[in-house]
């Protein structure tokens, strides 16, 4: 096979990898924690609707939350046990906000629900997609995008992302070394679903064992129509970013408002491919994932963690060394500091880092930007971070939008190289959330305007209709009166008038004129 031509994305950095700390131990199981709090929201696009009640006995892999809507994904009991509570628990999010979670108290038996693998030969495309959704599979690289949506598009090139470019993280590396067969089977299923012509598995060259393992499997299973190739890509952060890896492997550059599928490319993480295989071939829903626990801990490594396990339990298991100041979820560049350690492991949590001031020295004080331009050279999306910084710092959001802040993937390369130690990504995250809030307000205002105008129009219309109704009714009454009048004869009228005149005259004659001048009681009106 000829070496494929690789492309380059602009910028990027080469920080110390720090992978060896955790990548040398095989994936280990985690003892069952005392309780598992599984959040109902596990995907970026939708949530699940709980279908169990407090007190229910559940089996491992049993569906406890149905997919809500087209974009929703199901959630499953990570172990067998009893549902003890459905309540608000912290979520794995920088805000530390609460979200609804189903709490399961394990019974320690780890009893699986009856597993129903799909017959891959006879299953239809729709059945497979439905099973992907019902098994709760979302992108495991970090974005947690529902996989059934991505797998339901027709493409030419399927990319399996095994780059794992961020320092310290090694869960994909271990997964590829130990479960390469499942990953390749998953990739084949995804190829069938998407109708892709070729499958490219991109792995960074700092993971030679993973590359060997994957190549062995790909070569051993003599191919069944369609090319699968394992491609070694140069180690450079952020090659593992979806758009960056697509760029490196295919040369396509995808703007923020475009989808990779419109270029005939779709990218899945190796973890996702593995989960697809477990779900479809083995009938196991997504109930656990491999998580790297590393940093300032006694036993760094990769662990098979049940979803809903609290981060604190993992840290306890790996024994944090003294000096641990804070805990990061995700890598040191794109991750975030966990505000609380009772947050659960979710489908997108790939790494937990116990951070000490020795390993991750706190950033020196921010100094003024000296306009050196290093950030622009390091930006993998070709933005001008210094411009974005000035705009964001001045809260000039129009300026930030003008310099395409939405293209920023928050990879942290700019902040990494900044000689003035400016926390650029913090500014960008701030500006992005403000812009998002502003857009939401704008949408709400547009909606309110439309509703107000519709209501005003309706009130106007009602008023006009009422006026028309009254006019019509008045005309009707007049017509009815006229009809009555026609019935009475003119002579009759004349007689009545003559009688009235006669009565009036009789009354005025009966009263002396003086009493009338005194302002006495006026004669009663003659009634007809």
Partner 1 sequence: MIGITLALGIALGYAAIHFKVEGNPLAAQIDALLPQTQCAQCGYPGCKPYAEAVASGAAEINLCTPGGDEGAHKLAELLGREFKPHGGPVVEKVKVVALIDEQTCIGCTLCIQACPVDAIVGAAKQMHTVIAPICTGCELCLPPCPVDCISLIAEPRTPQNWRWKYPVTGLKVVA
Q: Which residues make up the interface to partner 1 (CB under 8 A)?
A: 91, 93-95, 97, 99, 365-366, 395, 423, 426-427, 429-430, 432-434, 437, 440-441, 444-449, 451-456
For residue 355, give the nearest of 321, 384, 378, 304 by alpha carbon: 321
Report which DSSP code applies to 249: H
For residue 330, give the nearest of 457, 185, 165, 487 by alpha carbon: 165
Question: Nearer Cβ to partner 1, position 234 or 423?
Answer: 423
Closest distance to partner 1 from the beta carbon of 364 (Å): 9
From residue 469, give the alpha-carbon distance in Å to each of 454, 472, 473, 474, 479: 22, 5, 6, 9, 15
From residue 163, give the alpha-carbon distance in Å to each of 267, 270, 434: 12, 9, 32
Query: Does residue 197 contact residue 156 with C-beta atoms inside 8 Å?
Result: yes
Question: Nearer Cβ to partner 1, position 255 or 394?
Answer: 394
Give CA angle at 271 (148, 228), nearest 5°: 85
Question: Nearer Cβ to partner 1, position 100 or 201?
Answer: 100
CA distance 153 to 157: 11
Closest distance to partner 1 from the beta carbon of 334 (Å): 14
For residue 414, give the nearest of 438, 385, 393, 388 by alpha carbon: 385
Closest distance to partner 1 from the beta carbon of 40 (Å): 13
CA distance 373 to 51: 54
Closest distance to partner 1 from the beta carbon of 383 (Å): 18
The DSSP result for 459-471, as a single string, is HHHHHHHHHHHHH
Question: Nearer Cβ to partner 1, position 9 or 389?
Answer: 389
Question: Nearer Cβ to partner 1, position 342 or 493?
Answer: 342
Give CA angle at 331 (37, 190), nearest 5°: 75
Closest distance to partner 1 from the beta carbon of 433 (Å): 4
Closest distance to partner 1 from the beta carbon of 441 (Å): 8
In sequence order, what E strands does 443-528 have?
none
CA distance 405 to 468: 56
CA distance 162 to 166: 11
3-state secondary structure of 185: helix
Question: Nearer Cβ to partner 1, position 447 or 507?
Answer: 447
Closest distance to partner 1 from the beta carbon of 254 (Å): 24
DSSP β-ladder status, 75-76 and 81-90:
unpaired
Closest distance to partner 1 from the beta carbon of 324 (Å): 21
Question: Nearer Cβ to partner 1, position 168 or 428?
Answer: 428
DSSP β-ladder status, 81-90 and 57-58:
antiparallel
Question: Nearer Cβ to partner 1, position 370 or 448?
Answer: 448
Question: Nearer Cβ to partner 1, position 253 or 366?
Answer: 366
Closest distance to partner 1 from the beta carbon of 387 (Å): 17
Give the pair of three-digit tokens for residue 334: 């794109």
Query: Does residue 337 contact residue 326 with C-beta atoms inside 8 Å?
Result: yes
The verdict on whether omega for the bond into residue 436 sits within 30 degrees of 0, i.e. cis, is no
Closest distance to partner 1 from the beta carbon of 393 (Å): 8
Closest distance to partner 1 from the beta carbon of 315 (Å): 23
CA distance 98 to 303: 26
Question: Nearer Cβ to partner 1, position 198 or 326?
Answer: 326
Question: Nearer Cβ to partner 1, position 98 or 127?
Answer: 98
Closest distance to partner 1 from the beta carbon of 437 (Å): 6
Give the pair of three-digit tokens for residue 447: 């909606």
Query: Does residue 241 contact residue 413 with C-beta atoms inside 8 Å?
Result: no
Question: Nearer Cβ to partner 1, position 252 or 336?
Answer: 336
CA distance 381 to 368: 24
From residue 328, give the alpha-carbon distance in Å to each of 48, 310, 353: 26, 13, 5
């Amino acid at each position: 096979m000829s070496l494929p031509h690789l492309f380059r994305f602009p910028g990027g950095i080469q920080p110390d990898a720090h992978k060896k700390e955790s990548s040398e131990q095989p994936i280990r199981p985690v003892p069952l924690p005392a309780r598992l709090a599984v959040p109902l929201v596990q995907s970026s696009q939708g949530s699940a609707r709980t279908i169990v009640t407090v007190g229910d006995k559940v089996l491992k892999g049993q569906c406890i939350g149905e997919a809500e809507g087209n974009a929703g994904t199901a959630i499953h009991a990570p172990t067998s046990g009893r549902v003890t509570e459905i309540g608000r628990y912290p979520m794995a999010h920088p805000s530390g906000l609460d979200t609804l979670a189903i709490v399961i108290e394990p019974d320690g038996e780890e009893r699986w629900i009856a597993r129903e693998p799909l017959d891959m030969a006879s299953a239809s495309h729709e059945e497979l997609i439905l099973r992907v959704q019902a098994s709760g599979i979302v992108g495991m690289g970090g974005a947690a995008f529902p996989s059934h949506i991505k797998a339901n598009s027709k493409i030419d090139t399927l990319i399996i992302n095994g780059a794992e470019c961020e320092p310290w993280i090694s869960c994909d590396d271990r997964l590829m070394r130990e479960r390469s067969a499942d990953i390749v089977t998953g990739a084949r299923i995804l190829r069938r679903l998407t109708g892709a012509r070729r499958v490219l598995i991109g792995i960074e060259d700092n993971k030679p064992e993973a590359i060997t393992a994957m190549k062995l499997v790909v070569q051993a299973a003599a191919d069944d129509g369609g090319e699968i190739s394992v491609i070694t890509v140069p180690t450079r952060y952020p090659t593992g970013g979806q758009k960056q890896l697509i760029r490196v492997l295919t040369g396509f550059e995808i703007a923020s408002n475009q989808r990779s599928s419109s270029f005939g490319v779709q990218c899945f993480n190796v973890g996702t491919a593995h989960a697809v295989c477990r779900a479809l071939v083995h009938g196991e829903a997504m109930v656990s994932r491999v998580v790297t626990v590393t940093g300032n801990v006694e036993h760094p490594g990769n662990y098979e963690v049940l979803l809903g396990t609290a981060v604190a339990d993992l840290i306890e298991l790996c024994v944090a060394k003294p000096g641990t100041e804070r805990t990061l979820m995700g890598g040191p560049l794109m991750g975030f500091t966990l505000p609380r350690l009772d947050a659960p492991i979710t489908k997108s949590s790939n790494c937990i880092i116990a951070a000490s001031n020795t390993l991750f020295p706190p950033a020196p004080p921010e100094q003024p930007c000296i306009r050196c331009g290093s950030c622009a050279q390091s930006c993998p999306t070709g933005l001008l971070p210094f411009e974005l910084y000035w705009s964001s710092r001045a809260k000039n959001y129009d300026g930030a939008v003008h310099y395409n802040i939405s293209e920023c993937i928050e990879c942290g390369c700019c902040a990494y190289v900044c000689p003035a130690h400016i926390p650029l990504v913090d500014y960008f995250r701030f500006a992005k959330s403000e812009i998002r809030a502003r857009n939401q307000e704008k949408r709400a205002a547009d909606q309110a305007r439309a509703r107000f105008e519709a209501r005003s129009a309706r009130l106007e219309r009602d008023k006009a209709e009422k006026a028309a109704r009254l006019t019509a009714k008045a005309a009707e009454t007049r017509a009815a009166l006229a009809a009555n009048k026609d019935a009475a004869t003119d002579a009759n009228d004349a007689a009545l008038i003559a009688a009235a005149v006669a009565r009036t005259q009789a009354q005025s004659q009966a009263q002396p004129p003086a009493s009338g001048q005194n302002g006495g009681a006026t004669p009663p009106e003659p009634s007809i």
